Amino acid sequence: QKEVEQDPGPLSVPEGAIVSLNCTYSNSAFQYFMWYRQYSRKGPELLMYTYSSGNKEDGRFTAQVDKSSKYISLFIRDSQPSDSATYLCAVSRQLTFGSGTQLTVLP
Partner 1 sequence: DAGITQSPRHKVTETGTPVTLRCHQTENHRYMYWYRQDPGHGLRLIHYSYGVKDTDKGEVSDGYSVSRSKTEDFLLTLESATSSQTSVYFCAISEGGQVTYTQYFGPGTRLTVL
Name the site residues for partner 1 (rule: CB under 8 A). Answer: 4, 6, 8, 32, 34, 41-46, 49, 88, 90, 92-95, 97-100
Q: How far is the CB of 34 from partner 1 (least distance, A)?
A: 6
* Burial class for 75, CB neighbours closer than 10 Å (0-12, 13-18, 19+): middle
Nearest to 35 by CA among 80, 85, 106, 105: 85
Q: Which amino acid is at 16?
A: G
First-to-final CA distance of the chain:
38
Which of 64/98 has CB closer to partner 1?
98
Q: How far is the CB of 81 from partner 1 (least distance, A)?
A: 23
Q: How far is the CB of 68 from partner 1 (least distance, A)?
A: 21
Sequence-ordered list of residues with C-beta below 8 angstroms from that of 107, at least 6 positions apart, any chain: 15, 81
Which of 16/51 has CB closer to partner 1?
51
Q: How far is the CB of 16 from partner 1 (least distance, A)?
A: 29
